[in-house]
Amino acid sequence: MKATLEKADPVQSKSGFIRKIFKKEALLSIALLVLLLAAWEILSRIGVLHPLILPAPTVVFSATLELLASSFLYLHLGVTLYETIAGFFIGSFLAIILGIVVSSNPTLYKVLNPFIVVFQAIPKIALAPIFVTWFGFGPTAKIVMAITICFFPTFVNTVVGLKSVDEESRLLFQSLVAKKKDTFFKLSLPTALPFIFAGLKSSLTFALIGAIVGEFVGANEGIGMLLDTFNFQLEMGKVYALIVILSIIALLLYLLIEWLDKKLIFWADRDNNN
């Protein structure tokens, strides 16, 4: 009976097989993680790994719980998140607007593209002291740093997405004497949105990196400042705990954009395996 059903519905049979494969891979990933943590713990306990270089996972876990129970962590975390989100929204907005403008004007694209590429090639860490000099030790310098780092992925993806519109579809709109506004909102933008969201996923993570880098260079608050302080005090357990917390936050921000992507761009082609 089971064989008959599989033969009658090969798509369902294939999807069930794929789910089993992914479930097996997930279990293997968890097993590998547990094995690595156990090896890390044992090597730390027997003295192979120095606690100042790589503290034991139990030490990091204990430090994480201690930080999460403290009130000052959330004050600094709020500052970093504010800088990250503000930089992300401003940088992404500017990137999308500029991407739309240069995509609709090939001459302008050729004129501006070399400057944009050269600016992207500049190591952003070299700009951090300059931004601190210009804007001081407050959040403005970190927001500008986040804007600088997160701008390029969204800009490039916006341009690529708008240039990937199917030529036959464009000709169809022209044959229907569609206005430029209608062509943009009903053809070009829907085609480009999957590309734009792909850029936004990277940009949000880069914005967090930009805020942290700015706080490293000069700040009196923020997670970057805490990392600097704990590192100077050789409290390596708390340093790694902050890294774990930042990793979780970055993952949650990424998943938020991923969720918005799937909800808002429901017409986009998805991986059939998902």
The structural domains of the chain, with segments of one domain joined by +, span 11-49, 60-264
CATH entry, 60-264, from 3.40.50.2300, 1.10.3720.10, 1.20.1270.360, 1.10.10.10: 1.10.3720.10
Cα separation, 185 vs 204, in Å, equals 25
HSE-CB at 159 with a 13 A cutoff on CA atoms is 20
Q: Which residue has the tokens 């970190």?
A: 142
* pLDDT score for 6: 47
Q: What is the pLDDT of residues 216-266, one digit of tens each?
A: 887 778 888 888 888 888 888 889 999 999 999 999 988 898 888 888 887
Contact 98, 155 (CB under 8 A): yes
* pLDDT score for 1: 46
Cα separation, 135 vs 215, in Å, equals 13
Q: What is the pLDDT of residues 76-120, one digit of tens each?
A: 899 999 999 999 999 999 999 998 888 888 888 888 888 888 887
Indicate whether 70 pLDDT > 80. Answer: yes
Confidence of residue 270 (pLDDT cuts 50, 70, 90): low
Indicate whether 23 pLDDT > 60. Answer: yes
Cα separation, 162 vs 160, in Å, equals 6
Contact 192, 158 (CB under 8 A): yes
Confidence of residue 21 (pLDDT cuts 50, 70, 90): low
Indicate whether 16 pLDDT > 60. Answer: no
Indicate whether 274 pLDDT > 50. Answer: no
Contact 116, 152 (CB under 8 A): yes
Indicate whether 208 pLDDT > 50. Answer: yes
For residues 186, 192, 198, 199, the Cα torsion angle rounded to the nearest 10 degrees is -120
* pLDDT score for 147: 92
Q: Pick the more confident residue, 40 or 81.
A: 81
* pLDDT score for 97: 93
CA distances from 248 to 171, 254, 260 (A): 46, 10, 18
Pick from 59, 53, 198, 213: which is nearest to 149 by CA? Answer: 213
Give the pTM: 0.79
Tell me what percent of the chain is helix, strand and coil, each rounded to the nearest 5: 80, 0, 20
* pLDDT score for 19: 59
Indicate whether 267 pLDDT > 80. Answer: no
**Interval 162-183 mean pLDDT:** 73
**Which are the contacts of 116, defined by CB distance < 8 A and separation ≥ 6?**
152, 155
